Structure 1
């Protein structure tokens, strides 16, 4: 297929462990196969010389860098983005596969000069069957789009870095992702949400959600367990409290508050009704799962607030 013309866009893929080597190979191949040909594909190894050398040998025609910032996803992405010279910078995680139109659909949002960034739909690629206790509203816990998100191209407060595109000028203006804030090992903090809010505040620009831009995100077996689910909700609670402390008062967590007050209660009510009508016992499990998620996130937020007071 002949690549279609369009704005220059660089694709940055952060990686940190050889355990994801095969998925990294798939991610790189999907980036190179885009209908809109990337100006450059950049792989950044996070303080892992062996992985850096292996990627350098394995990916001809791809720029492979070593993270020059502190360890973690934020610094890793910044290293790649600061190297880019294109008008637009796109990010993919190393456990994703982008559909051929992914890059072009994201780039189409930037015909509006008021748009500073865009994100696309993230679909789960379950290694094992999806757990029946998992409600659609909580699919974010495995890093994919969830019920309640827009179904057409729509302005949105923030997008996810697993499938993100941003104007290079806006990204550089705020210094990129916040160093030291974000994913490191098993720790999760919403560095992508914080970046989106900071760019909007600095530039006055808007973010767009473009569901026609699609990637598949691996969901391994160990992320399909209830234990992982609770840990993820707990980490989200802590991370959102940490992020809130970084935001001005006029940019607090209204989206999260609406999700707690409207989206989740509707999910509980729906599944209780379905269970009571004999539509399957798993509906009762899904209602209970929502309650468990709120408790775990609330506990995590409380722990973080106590930690802040102690400091």
Structure 2
């Protein structure tokens, strides 16, 4: 890959990886990018402080020049991995794909279509779950599919402006990072067992503040399919993830203020979730499977998230919520490609 190539409308794809347990998923994710109807300029695999995985992927793609394997140049975690990919990439549009997801053939085509408008700074897509058990657990409410990293009931359909895109299926102009900086480390997943998130929400709010004219889009034609492992189909994970979301939202509110940080969540909890509870109760009354359990899961999820938010806010006030930093943006040739 050379900087002399025409990159004006080229798309670099960044896939952050951290475990050999997802080896088959990682290969499938890369294959889905290589099969795009609108080819990617390059695919960057950013390995999160796992030397054995780094070496194995280097060997796997040593004869594949359009796939580069990089070591995360920052602290452990998804945000620093994404920032490494941004800095090492050459495309003027940078897309992010989860390491346990596969993109449909026109995924990048629909992303590129959104950038025909120069005001568009980010385009996200729709993520569909692939349940390990073969079907959605009967108790699992569609309103909470974000728990497993997927599109949820309440998101707009078609193409629509949004406050933030969802990180596992998203793209940004490079100039968005020039304006707002990179992903904040200290927010989101960092190798800890607690499933935190919201790093893309915080970035998108910073972007909108730095560029008030910026348009952020959700286009549900840009589809990926995300694997949901058995452990994440269980209520224990549901409860843990919703609690962690509350902690994450407290960090976002600390960074950008509660007004913007909770703007979409207020509409979600006041409209979408009550409607979901009502549907569950109706299904229970009609004798449909899982109706009562879905309604109960929604209530439990709200309670867990609220508890996490309160605790996270108290920790922030007491100075024990931890710290986060915003990475500087820009293309950086320092992260050396291993393959």
TM-score for both structures, normalised by structure 2: 0.87
For 2:170, what is the secondary structure of its paired residue? Answer: strand
Given the alignment, which residue of 88, 107, 110 partners 1:83?
A: 88
Structure 2's unaligned 5+ residue stretches are 1-7, 320-339
Partner of 1:117: 122
2:22 matched residue in structure 1: 20
Aligned residues: 306
TM-score in terms of structure 1 length: 0.95
Q: How does 1:6-85 map to 2 (within 5 A)?
A: 7-59=9-61, 60-61=64-65, 62-85=67-90
Say whether the 8 Å CA contact 1:119–1:210 is kept in structure 2.
Answer: yes
What does residue 237 of structure 1 align with?
246
The reply to whether residue 295 of structure 1 matches residue 303 of structure 2 is yes
Contact preservation (8 Å) 1:82, 1:172: no
Most deviating of 295-304 and 180-189: 180-189
Q: Secondary structure, in 3 states, of the residue corresponding to 2:255? A: coil
The runs of 5 or more residues in structure 1 that have no matched partner are 1-5
Q: 1:103 offset after TM fit, Å?
A: 0.7
Rounded Cα–Cα distance in structure 1 between residues aligned with 2:104 and 2:124: 14
* 1:177-200 residue CA offsets vs partner (Å, 9 max, x unmatched): 012322112331310111111111
Deviations 1:131-188 (A, max 9, x none): 1001111111111001111221111111111111100111133221012322112331
C-alpha RMSD of matched pairs (Å) = 1.5
The answer to whether the Cα contact below 8 Å between 2:252 and 2:261 also exists between their aligned partners in 1 is no
Shift of 1:238: 0.9
SS at match of 2:115: helix
| 2: CA distance, partners of 1:90 / 1:176 | 14
Q: 2:165 aligns with which of 156, 159, 169?
A: 159
* 1:21-68 CA-partner distances (Å, limit 9, x unpaired): 110000011111111111111111111111111111112221111111
CA–CA distance in 2 between the matches of 1:108 and 1:29?
Answer: 22
Larger deviation, residues 16-25 vs 217-226: 16-25
Deviation by residue 1:3-36 (Cα, 9 ceiling, x = unmatched): xxx9210001111111111100000111111111
- 1:281, distance to aligned residue in structure 2 (A): 4.2
Aligned residue number for residue 3 of structure 1: none
Change (3 A) 1:241 1:180: closer
Cα distance in 1, alignment partners of residues 187 and 276 from structure 2: 31
Equivalent residues of 1:75, 1:180 under 8 A apart: no
